[in-house]
Every structure is written in structure tokens, then in C-alpha cells.
Chain A
Amino acid sequence: MSGEEKIVAQILERYPFLEGKITIQRRQRIIMPPLSREKFEDVFKYVVDEVGFHRFHLVIGVDDGEDLGFIYALSNEENIVLLLKQKAPKELPYIKSVCSVFPNALWHERELVDLFGAQVEDLPPGPTYPLPDGWPAGNYPMRKEWKVEYFDKETMTYNPPAEKTPETASDDKAKEAAK
């Protein structure tokens, strides 16, 4: 039994509901399924304290359409990388900060706040990162629906085109026909 399989077995023993959802992608890579917040906090604590994943690499934010995903990359002594995933609905993306366990998560979590609009609880106060001052509130550039084309750098405003109502759409068609 390889080191990866042992770890998966250890996690499955504690959390049987993950059966069949954990994949060993290749040597030194274990990928966990996306978990909701409550389950994630529990699994995270267990993995860090008892399975021995004590090195934190980074947290990756992803836009999954309906949800926002947060992928925590951890590794252990044998350099096995575990990708722990958490998901939160886009409207209320509340997650809990892991800064108290891993101080090097600070900048990564600030990045989630700025770029994805995640609401990170217990995040230590400090400057925003990495967006500039005067960035319009409510604009989260790494979300899929946010398009670079609609952003005006001079005025720092985001102007998406008005959504096409049936009337304007028919107008457009009429114009095209006239051409």
C-alpha cells in the first residue's frame, strides 16, 4: 500500500461518506471532492492535526458558475499534495479564515476577498490586496461574469452593456434588415 492510499484509507475511516469521492490522481496527488462549509472545517482540522498535512501552500479560488470553489493545497512530510476543496454559494460566499493555523494564508485569503468577493471570517485587518485604491465596490474581476472589456481604466468604472430586452432586440433585427 503506497503512502497515498494509506492517507486516503485514514481519511475514509473517519469520514465514510467520502467513499469513492477521493481520487488519487497520480503519485503525490490526492484530490478531495468539494465540501460544504461545515464539513470542510471538520475535515480540514482532522487532516491538519491528525493526518499530518502541516504545510500549507496556497488557496486557489475558482468560479464554478453557481458556486465559488476554494481549493486548499496542503502537503505533508512525504511531500504528498492534498487538494482540499470547499464550496460556497456565489451570493453568500462565507468561508472561515485559516490564518490562525497557517499564517502564510493571509495574502492568499485577502486575494480571495478582492478578486472573488469571498467573505472571509476572522481575517486579520490590514490593507487590501491586490486591487488598487478606488476600485469600484462589488466588482470581483476573477468571477467569470466579469469581463475586462467593460472596465474603463480612466474612470475606474465597470459599464456592462444593458441587457437586451425583446424590444431592443427586435430593433436590432430591423436595423440589420434595413442594411
Chain B
Amino acid sequence: MLMALFNIVIFPGLLFLGIYALFFAFLDRKLYARLQNRVGPPWFQPLADFCKLLGKETIIPQGADRRVFVSLPVFALAAVTTAFIYVPIWSVNSLFPFEGDLIVVLYLLTIPTLCFFLGGWYSTSLYATIGAVRALTQLFSYEVPLFMAMLAPAILAETWSISGISAYYAEHPLYILINIPAFLVAMVACQGKLERVPFDLPEAETEIVSGTFVEYSGRLFAIFKMAIDCELVVVSALIAAIFLPFHAANPWLGFLYFIIKTVIILILLCLFRASMARVRIEQMLMFCWKILTPLAIIQIIINLLVRGALA
């Protein structure tokens, strides 16, 4: 019982995730700045931002439903934190592995997007409404290729559990090469999930101010921001667990591997963000359905064929 509480609150739960998310936010911003030949923020900047936001006044719009408006950021953070518990960190096994946790994690990761949508919708601001609608439209476009890209390795590994997939590829490391197209699809699609350039349409600062979050301020916004940062960690940890399964028996070494893998994924995501312009909503739909989805389907077919050949 005590151990479970420790796991949920401190490691690998809320506290560790929070600290690691702040570190990730720093790394992301610093790298982004260095890619643009700037100095970038100091290491404590995300923490300072978080603390500052906590101290600011929270304003709730008059037309908004108070309870829903306040609970949405907490919901988003809770969903992300819960998802993290099912992602392996120090070994091939996560904390509470079970058959089918991949699907649970993917669905838990959808909840923040729904929270952004509802948050924007309940803000009763025009910008937020447009941002909310965009968030939902975007969800329908990237979710399908992302899920399919995640499921393709699972088909090859013949298991629906993240730990099982990790263990399978740790045993047969060469099979990872088959999954490279799925890895690329997942990297692109998760850029949409994380609402980063080129798919940052729901917040598009220069178009709709900051979209869904335009009415959020103070503590609520801090929690939302935290949820987004945590989502970045969870998604990169998930991709690392599925597509880059190099594991060590020693948990300390395994943990080091985890950090290296997630940072590599972050660097790729950051490079992706730095090198493109934001697309329009209809261009994004077109891209996701016409390029990413067929690519993911082809991957699934290949994996099915390989599976058949192996059997």
C-alpha cells in the first residue's frame, strides 16, 4: 500500500514526472533557441514560469461553467500522469503491466486533447471556440495514423501490452528496422497530438491568439501547461518504449537508457518543430489522411506478412 502510494505520488508518478517534464520543457526551449542561434532560457526558467503562474490571479469568464472550467486542467493532468504509470521506465516492465495497456495508454493520452477542446468550448471566447473546434478537427486527423503506427509493432510482437512489446523487441532487436516507417508516422502524428509546429493550429498564437487557452490564467493555466509538458514526456517515453527498446538488466542502467532514448526523441521532435511552418487546418487533414494513414496501413500489412512468414 505504502509502496503503491510512493509509486503514484513520487516515483514514477506525479513528482518525478513533474520534474522531468520541467526538465524536458527546458531542454526543448533551449534546443529550439540554439537551433535559432539564440542563447535560450536558463535551466530554471520553466520552474520559474510555473511558480509565477501559480502566484497570478485566476480569472474565470463570466459565461463559463465554473466547475467544468476549473476541473478540466486537473483532469488533463491526471490523465497524463495515469498514463505514465503504464509506461516502462527502468526495465522492460512498467509498474503495473497488463495485457492491453497500450490501448489504455493511448486512450488516456486522448483525454488531454478532449480537455483542451472542452476548455476552449467552455471559455465562451470566440478565439477559444475556434481553437477548440480546431483541436477536435485535428484530433480526428492525427489519431488514426498515430494509433495504427503504434499498433503495427504490437502486431509483430503479438501482444497488446507495452511491456510485452518492449520485451519482444529487446529479444529480437533487428525487427525494429521493419518498423521504421511506423516510427516516422508516429513522430509526425505525435507532433499533432502535442500541438507543436507545424500542427499547433489549436493555439496558433499569431492567428487566434492562443486558441483554447486564451481565457485560462493563473493556477489553471499553470496546470494546463504542466499537463502539456507531461504529455511531451509521456509520448516520448511511449515511443521510446515501443520503437527504441534497448534494455539493460540493471535498473539504474535501464533508467539511464530511458533518459537517453527520450532525449533523442525530444531532439528529433524539436528539430521537426524548428524546421517547418505551421500548416492550415485543411492542409493538415489532407496530409494526415492522404499520406500518413496509407503509410501506416502499409506498415500494418508488412507486419502482418512478416508475422505470417515467421509463423
In the complex they form, whether A and B have CB atoms below 8 Å apart is answered with no
